[in-house]
Amino acid sequence: MARQFFGTDGIRGRTNAGVMTADIAMKVGQAAGRHFLRGAHKHRVVIGKDTRLSGYMLESALVAGFTSVGMDVILLGPMPTPAVAMLTREMRADVGVMISASHNPYEDNGIKLFGPDGFKLSDADELAIEAGIGAEQTLAASPDIGRARRIDDARGRYIHAVKASLPDNIRLDGLKIVVDCAHGAAYQVAPSVMWELGAEIVTIGVTPNGININDRVGSTHLDAIQQTVVAAGADIGIALDGDADRLIVVDEQGQTVDGDQIMALIGSQWARQGRLRGGGVVATVMSNLGLERYLHGQGLTLERTAVGDRHVLEAMRKRGFNVGGEQSGHMILLDHATTGDGTVAALQVLAALVQSGKRASELLHLFDRVPQLLRNVRFSGGKPLDDARVKDAIAGAEAALTGKGRLVIRASGTEPLIRVMAEGDDAGLVERQVAGICAAVEEAAK
């Protein structure tokens, strides 16, 4: 069945257009509510959001939808995506909702759904809700309409859970940490977690105004945190995205540490501690070949999946792994969270820093990256990957890279982009192949 609403990570789009309107949000609430009305207990949904202006509109519409079919609503306010997943399970809710478009600009928004176990929904659940959005829903009788209430201690509950991911003997005293919250959902909780563990905190991206989320700050815009770490003489920088399910680290010299290096650190450290399950790490086809070589040198494996943290999570659960993630910074540590959690992952990095006694620049660059180039080509319509010219260019690049590197071509699941990635030990060869494919895509997209 073709999907009209759900993409690779929930429903996402430009607000007040397409699929991201108040009307659609209300229908999502009704369809998801009806889908999870199972059993005789009083049903409830947990709803969190990031700091986008449109969050108010979508939150109100979702409340109307869920209550109209008989579900009680618990409103968390601005909270990270992993906090919504955690509280859905902790509060015995039937479904959880996060209103966020992650690292996208404020004009976009999205709706992510979690099941009662705190995990993102299966394809079957999403398809059932898709069908319900377009159907007329059975509304609750007047006495059975749901109620809505806000809870005041959601931040405290999440902070306690995140701190519990560290052993009691780990403190952050003596560390000076720059924390960049992207003016997003973690703007209060992430700095609080690290301050309560003893660190000196310098904050940026913690004054949301509804339209500045991810604006030149956060894990996808690193100039600000790189400059601040160096200027402040900090030991390390922690950069989150708008909904705080991603982490990128900056060392004391202002150098970037991406998700691949973070997975290498956590995976190898947990292996030495006897905590790693599955014999390795799960990552996507975008992760650098250097990570794969490093893990093999440690006697560990790298299991690759399609792009998207949901694919990583599915493979982890199916194959018994507890560490996985994406080069972009999604870190899934199943011992502590059911979805990507940038703050939990940050604490694992900080713990390693404390235990090693090394500088971040000495600890966090565990392997040399194989030359890798990723370019995005925007298109306005059609299917450029089906064009014969593009197919020929891809076939030629694959032949040129055989035995020398890798090629990954994919359409974005959230934007009209073709992503072209190649890597190999010969940087010039990589650049030529990517340029050739991009030129073919641009020609086909005219």
Active site residues: 102
Task: Provide φ and ψ at 388, rounded to 5°.
Answer: -60, -35
Residues in the chain: 446
Task: Provide φ and ψ at 443, rounded to 5°.
Answer: -65, -40
Q: Report d(CA 140, CA 138) in Å as an integer.
A: 7
Q: Which amino acid is at 376?
A: N
**187 Cβ contact list (under 8 Å, min separation 6):** 51, 78, 181, 205, 206, 207, 208
**416 Cβ contact list (under 8 Å, min separation 6):** 378, 379, 380, 381
Q: Report d(CA 433, CA 423) in Å as an integer.
A: 10
Cα first-last separation, the chain: 29
Q: Which residues pair with 16 in a beta bridge?
A: none
Q: What is the dihedral of CA 353, 358, 359, 362, to 10 degrees?
A: -110
Place of tokens 């052993």: 167
Question: Which stretch of DSSP H or E encloses residue 130?
Answer: helix 123-133
Q: Report d(CA 98, CA 111) in Å as an integer.
A: 6
**Cα separations (Å) of 73 from 62, 129, 147, 224?**
9, 18, 6, 38
